[in-house]
Structure formats: structure tokens, C-alpha cells
Structure 1
Amino acid sequence: MQHYLSTLEKSWYELHRHYQFSEPQRTFNKLIAAYSEKQRAYHTIQHLYECLVLLEATRSDLNDDHAVALALWFHDAVYDPQAKANELKSAVLFEQYLAQDLPTETVQKIERWIVATQKHEPTEELDLQFLLDIDLAILAASPERFVEYEQQIQQEYSWVDPDVYSIKRKEVLAHFYQTEPLYQTEYFQKCFEHSAKNNLREVVGN
């Protein structure tokens, strides 16, 4: 936990140095509180941390790395497993917190990117491709982390009948397994595609 927090704080204040947020510590605290809410098991500061680590690995490939970082910070800022508008609400929260500190076109771009993490549809926009691939990178995690991830998702959906959950979850993972290619960027296709498909195959049963 403390390791995650120190890395996240470093990332956040790097963004502050670039954008000059008006209330950096207050916004940071609110985001950490959001990602620590009790209904979360996967969509936590662990997920945010893992995304930001991957951002560092791909930063040199991005056109606007700071905007991608901000989108990652806010993409799951609102998360209710029983709701369907989390991404839209996360985008609204981003605007509420930071619109006054950023150029209008930057706000609009990041809002659009946050909303795009709901459906993960193909795009020709390079930065958005990387954002979406980073969000799905968990599918290519080590077998141990992937098992943990599946347990965390199941915990978030503990309110669903177990038999129904099992069927629906397998449908979601089968969709990812059948998507060719799963990842949109050449970097993720080269480094992550094979591992992701192996993990998914274990669950889907193909």
C-alpha cells in the first residue's frame, strides 16, 4: 500500500509541475480516497499504480503523455459495480476538479478518452490506443496476478448470483479472447498479446 502511494504521489506531483493545479494536495487526497472505497477490489490504487507503471514504459511513444496520465488517474475515479455510467461520471468528476486549471481542448480530449475506456472500441488516435491498451494490460499479467485479478473482479460482483456471474464473466473474457488483435498498439501486440491470450484461454476453455 505505502509503495503504491509513494509512486502515485510522485506521478501526481509530476503532473502538477506540468499543469500547475490550483489545489494539488486536495485533489490527490480525494482521488486516493475514491480509489480506496470499500466496494472496490480490483479498481483500486493497485490498478492505478499498475497503469502508471506501464505509462512510464511507453511514455516516449506518446504525443501527449501528461494528458494520458491524467486520463489514467481519472478513468476509474467513480466506480460502482452496480452502475453503468461510471466512465461518464468519472469524466464529469475530472471536469469538476481540474477544468479551471487546463486548456479547454485538453479538458475535452481527456473527458473523451475517459469515456472511451467503457467500450474499448478501436481508434486511430495513438494516445487513446495506448490508454486503452494500458487499461487492459492486466489480461497479460503473470498467471498469479491474473488469478488474483479474477478473484478481485468476482469480489466486486459478489452481489450477483454466482452461476449468473460465471456465465457472464466467461462471455466477457471470451470476447477479449476472440478479439484479433486484442491490443491496438504495436508495442502491446508485441509484448502483451501472447500472454493475454494464454491467460484468457485458461478461463474460456478453448
Structure 2
Amino acid sequence: MQQYLTVLEKSWFELHHHYHFSEPQKVFNKLIAAYSEKQRAYHTLQHLYECLVLLKSIQADLIDAHAVELALWFHDAVYDPQVKDNELKSAELFEQYLIQDLSIDIVQKIKRWILATHKHALTDELDLQFLLDIDLAILAASPERFAEYEQQIQQEYAWVYPDIYLIKRKQVLAHFYQTEPLYQTEYFQQNFEQRSKGNLRGILDGK
């Protein structure tokens, strides 16, 4: 966890330097606590860390990298696998914490982006395309990390009867596999698409 915290703290206080949050340490602490909740196994500090590291490698391609980074911080700030309005609650939490520090335009844009991580619908908005692709980058992870990811998701849904979980999970992964292309940006299509489809095929074939 410590290796994640070092990077996360640097990211957050660079955002503070850009946006001038009124209570940066308080909000940082609340977000770290949120991503450390016991019902989480995948939607954790590790996921946030992986998203932010990936963002840093492509930020030159973004129009407003700071806004994308802030949206990533809050996109899973509320997560309960037994409800369906996590994105809405995450967007509302973002507004609650930072509305006094940001312009209304930035607040509305980031809220809209957080809500978009629910359905991952096609968009022609470049920064949002990258945000959504980053959120799905785990599907193109190394075989070891992808296997860990699958175990983490199963752990979050341990409350579901195992046979039902396996059916529903394969439906989700089949949807990703059948989406052509899976990723919306050219960068992710070139660098992540093939690996993600290989990982997904392996699960769907029962390997």
C-alpha cells in the first residue's frame, strides 16, 4: 500500500497546486479512506494508482489532463458492489467536496465524466475517450495481473451465489470481447486492444 500512497500523494498535491483546493489534506485523507473500504478488492488504491500511472504516460495527448486526473480520483470514490448508483454518488461526492474550489464549468464537466464511467458509451469527446479507456486498461494487463483482477472482482461479488456469478461475469466479459473496437482512442486500440481481447478470450474459453 505504501508504494501506492507515495504516487497518489504526489498526484493529489500536484492537482492542489493547479486548482488550489481549500482543504487538500482533508479531502485526500477522505479519498484514501474511501478507496480502502473493506468491501473493495479491485476498486481500491491499487486501481486508482494504476489509472494515474497510465494517465501520466499519455497526458501529452489530452486537452485538459488535470481534469481527467481529478475525474479519475473520484470515479470510484463511492463503491458498493450491491448497488447500481455508485457513479452517481461518486459524482455527487466530488461536487460536495470541491464545488467551492472549482469553476461551475469544471464541476459540471467532471461530474458528467464520472457518470460516463457507468456505461462506457461511445463519445466523440477526446478527454472522455481517454478517461474511459484508462478505466478499462486492466483488461489488457499482464496474464498475472489480469488473473489477480478476476479474483478481485469475484471477491467483491462473494455475496452472489457462485454459479450465478460465473454466468453473469461471463456475460460482462463477452460484452467487452464483442465490442469492436473495445477502446475508443487510437492509442489504446493500437497498444491495448489485442492484449485485452486475448485475456478475455482466455476466460471465455475457460482457460
Cα distance in 2 for residues equivalent to 1:76 and 1:133: 15
Q: Using the alignment, how far apart are the partners of 2:119 and 2:50 within structure 1? A: 20
2:11 corresponds in structure 1 to 11
Residue type of the alignment partner of 1:102 = L
Which digits, 9 at most, give the CA deviation of each residue in 1:35-61, with x for residues without a partner? 000000000000000000010011000
In 1, Cα distance between equivalents of 2:21 and 2:189 = 35
Q: Which residue of 1 aligns with 2:73?
A: 73
In the TM superposition, what are the counterparts of 1:60-99 in structure 2 within 5 Å? 60-99=60-99
Aligned AA (2:95) = E
1:121 aligns with 2:121: yes
- Which runs of structure 2 are paired with 1:1-206 in the superposition (5 Å)? 1-205=1-205
Distance 2:2 2:82 in 1: 29
Q: Deviations over 1:18-47 (max 9, x none)?
A: 000000000000000000000000000000
In the aligned structure 2, how far is the partner of 1:127 from the partner of 1:99? 21
Structure 2 Cα separation of the partners of residues 3 and 154 of structure 1? 25
TM-score by length of 1: 0.99
Aligned length: 206
Report deviation, 1:2: 0.5
Match of 1:30, as an amino acid?
A: K
User: What is the CA deviation profile of residues 39-88 of structure 1, one whole-angstrom value per residue up to 9, with x for unaligned ones?
Assistant: 00000000000000010011000000000000000000000000000000
Separation of aligned partners in 1, 2:73 and 2:113: 12
Q: Which runs of 5+ in 2 are unaligned?
A: none
Structure 2: distance between partners of 1:126 and 1:91:
20
3-state SS in 2 of match to 1:149: helix
Q: Give, in angstroms, the shift of residue 205 of structure 1.
A: 1.6
**1:94-127: per-residue Cα shift (whole Å, max 9, x none)?**
0000010000000000000000000000000000
| C-alpha distance in structure 2 between counterparts of 1:49 and 1:112, whole Å | 22
SS of 1:100's equivalent? coil
Gaps of 5+ in 1: none
- CA shift at 1:204, angstroms? 1.1
> How far, CA to CA, are the matches of 2:27 and 2:203 in structure 1?
38
Distance in 1 between residues matched to 2:189 and 2:100, nearest whole Å: 37
- Letter of the aligned partner of 2:137 in structure 1? A
- Percent identical among aligned pairs is 77
Distance in 1, Cα, partners of 2:97 & 2:177? 37
